[in-house]
Amino acid sequence: MPAVRALIFDVFGTLVDWHGSIARELRQILGPRVSDPAAFAEAWRAQYQPAMQAVRSGALPFCKLDLLHRHNLDRVLADLKLDDVDEATRQQLNLAWHRLDAWPDVAPALHRLRPHFRIAPCSNGNISLMVDLARRNDLPWDAILGAELARDYKPKPEVYLNAAAAFDCAPAEVVMVACHSSDLAAAAACGLRTAHVARPDEHGPGRGERRAETPVDHQAHDLLQLCEQLGV
Amino acid sequence: MPAVRALIFDVFGTLVDWHGSIARELRQILGPRVSDPAAFAEAWRAQYQPAMQAVRSGALPFCKLDLLHRHNLDRVLADLKLDDVDEATRQQLNLAWHRLDAWPDVAPALHRLRPHFRIAPCSNGNISLMVDLARRNDLPWDAILGAELARDYKPKPEVYLNAAAAFDCAPAEVVMVACHSSDLAAAAACGLRTAHVARPDEHGPGRGERRAETPVDHQAHDLLQLCEQLGV
């Protein structure tokens, strides 16, 4: 096996607590109008895969995740009989995805990895969303790779292969890091190495993957343990 | 006019001294086999626009600048009767473009700008080349925008418009910064603001643009003066 030269990261769930952050933003922006912010967050996120599937299948041309999030938000608001939420509030709500908080191990681990490896997000989130999360959480990326560069959505092979190619790496020189087995299985099928990081509280307390459900090269309970496994 | 939200930068010449750095690398790698490193650097760079034109015109599909640089290097070596330079040395020479030194004002100015604006290169150089220059010269980019993201080469409008869109900005919210009037004229035609930075020694002492030869929004003698003009 060639030496590892780069690590690329899933972001929603793996690096940032979307569930807790979106619920917090919903409470702050909608106040008592939303009775169960965690359920709203789950409902919004549940629209995520079907919306991207329209792009993956070729039914829709590529568009930024911000646009899909907005379409999904409008559906959830309609389902919850909150049609009177105005346009400015909807825009403010949609940008909640740009204000997610990272898990506490993330920034220290990325700063430990960066002297040794090229590092980038390989997310379905768009570039501006990744930039805002990086600034908010001090994530020292070399570049923003992922869906907007590849113009398609994970788990399509092009997204992983395009990220490796952007770093001038063979797939086997790159580790895909994620807390979702499906993401890692797709990366492994493209020849990338894989690291599963447990995020057992991704969907709220006790509701997340504790271990990979697919063969992986590394299994870690957080990114700092992954640093140790990689010898940095 | 809307407020400025982002600055995007030309890189070769504007931020880094390609002429002096390539001549240095040629001396180090080829030694006495190259009699005039500065002339070699100029000859190599002279192939740059014609090579990109094949992509701009649609005659060639998009490929990374590293590949065009390599093709051009082989031509220059043949012209100079240096056909016996071996493959490993050619690869080492081609990566000289990843080892260019920034002008001394660049890193301090980008660190001053970053708290106030989104910043990114908008170069014809590929992502891995930009990453290596950023690491070498401490350039704190938010993202790597430019040709590889747009899949075309400046001065095609798509490259400037794609960079603004990646930052969720209207063209008039973005300043294109360059030391080449042709680059700024193309950006202005897309609705971007423009800043010309003088690099009078780009092609060697006294051989570079001292002032813009096209209307621009800002004219500065270096990037630190541009910071002052932008009030940061």
For residue range A120-159, what is the model confidence (pLDDT) as tens digits? 999 999 999 999 999 999 999 999 999 999 999 999 999 9
For chain B, residues classed under CATH 1.10.150.240 are 18-98
What average pLDDT does chain A have?
Answer: 97
Tell me the shortest Cα–Cα distance from B165 to chain A, in angstroms.
9
Is B134 in contact with A142 (Cβ distance < 8 A)? yes
* Nearest residue in chain A measured CA to CA from B95: A168
Angle at the Cα of B49 from the Cα atoms of B45 and B51, rounded to 5 degrees: 95
Mean pLDDT, to the nearest integer, of A191-215? 97
Give the residue among A155, A153, A149, A210 at the shortest CA–CA distance from A179. A210
pTM attached to this predicted model:
0.97
Q: Taking 90 as the threshold, does the pLDDT of residue A1 lie above it?
A: no
Residue B63 · residue B153 · CB < 8 Å: no
Give the residue among A166, A210, A214, A163 at the shortest CA–CA distance from A175. A163
**What stretch of H or E contains A135?**
helix A127-137
Is A143 in contact with B130 (Cβ distance < 8 A)? yes
In A, which residues are within 8 Å of B168 by CB distance? Answer: 66, 128
Residue with tokens 């169960």: A36
Quick: pLDDT tens for A69-95: 999 999 999 999 999 999 999 999 999
Packing angle of the helix pair A87-94, A18-30 (nearest 10 deg): 160
Superfamily in which the A6-17+100-229 domain is placed by CATH: HAD superfamily/HAD-like (3.40.50.1000)
Instruction: Name every residue whose Cβ is closer than 8 Å to that of residue B114 and which is 6 or more positions away in sequence.
Output: B140, B142
Question: How far, in Å, CA of B13 to CA of A124, rounded?
Answer: 34
* Cα first-last separation, chain B: 19
CA B94, chain centre distance (Å): 16
Give the residue among B147, B177, B178, B179 at the shortest CA–CA distance from B163. B147
Instruction: Name every residue whose Cβ is closer than 8 Å to that of residue A172 and which is 6 or more positions away in sequence.
Output: A1, A2, A191, A192, A193
Residues A18-98, CATH architecture: Orthogonal Bundle (1.10)
| Cis amide bond preceding B155, omega within 30 | yes
ipTM confidence score = 0.96
For chain A, residues classed under CATH 3.40.50.1000 are 6-17+100-229
Cβ burial, residue B3 (10 Å; 0-12/13-18/19+)? exposed
**Count of C-beta atoms within a 10 Å radius of residue B7:** 25
* Nearest residue in chain A measured CA to CA from B120: A143
Residue A156 · residue A147 · CB < 8 Å: no
Q: What is the pLDDT of residue A94?
A: 98
Is A134 in contact with B142 (Cβ distance < 8 A)? yes
**Helix (H, G, I), strand (E, B), or coil: what is residue A219?**
strand
* Nearest residue in chain B measured CA to CA from A116: B135
Among A144, A152, A158, A162, most B C-beta atoms within 10 A, so best to mutate, is: A144
Q: What is the pLDDT of residue B79?
A: 96
Q: What is the pLDDT of residue A184?
A: 98
Spatial strand order in the sheet of B6-9: B145-146, B118-123, B6-9, B174-178, B193-197, B218-220
Q: Taking 90 as the threshold, does the pLDDT of residue A43 lie above it?
A: yes
Mean pLDDT, to the nearest integer, of A160-177? 98
pLDDT (tens, 9 = 90+) of chain B, 232 residues, equals 899 999 999 999 999 999 999 999 999 999 999 999 999 999 999 999 999 999 999 999 999 999 999 999 999 999 999 999 999 999 999 999 999 999 999 999 999 999 999 999 999 999 999 999 999 999 999 999 999 999 999 999 999 999 999 999 999 999 999 999 999 999 999 999 999 999 999 999 999 999 999 999 999 999 999 999 999 9
Instruction: Name every residue whose Cβ is closer than 8 Å to that of residue B153 and which is 6 or more positions away in sequence.
Output: B52, B55, B56, B124, B147, B159
In B, which residues are within 8 Å of A144 by CB distance? Answer: 142-144
Q: What is the pLDDT of residue A221?
A: 98
Q: What's the Cα-to-Cα distance from B138 to each of A140, A145, A232, B117, B162, rounded to whole Å?
A: 12, 20, 22, 17, 25
Q: What is the pLDDT of residue B1?
A: 85
How many CB pairs (< 8 A) connect A and B?
Answer: 45
Among B131, B141, B158, most A C-beta atoms within 10 A, so best to mutate, is: B131
Q: What's the Cα-to-Cα distance from B110 to each of A117, B59, B142, B216, B230, rounded to whole Å?
A: 23, 37, 11, 20, 12
CA A184, chain centre distance (Å): 13
| Cis amide bond preceding A155, omega within 30 | yes
* Nearest residue in chain B measured CA to CA from A151: B149
Residue with tokens 């770093």: A167
Question: How far, in Å, CA of B145 to CA of B152, rounded?
Answer: 12
**Beta strand segments in A3-51, E:** 6-9
**Count of C-beta atoms within a 10 Å radius of residue B24:** 17
Give the residue among A23, A11, A73, A66 at the shortest CA–CA distance from A44. A73
Is B143 in contact with A143 (Cβ distance < 8 A)? yes
Of B131, B142, B166, the CB nearest to A148: B166
Of B118, B149, B167, the CB nearest to A149: B149
Kindly indicate the confidence band of residue A61, based on its pLDDT and cuts at 50, 70 and 90.
very high
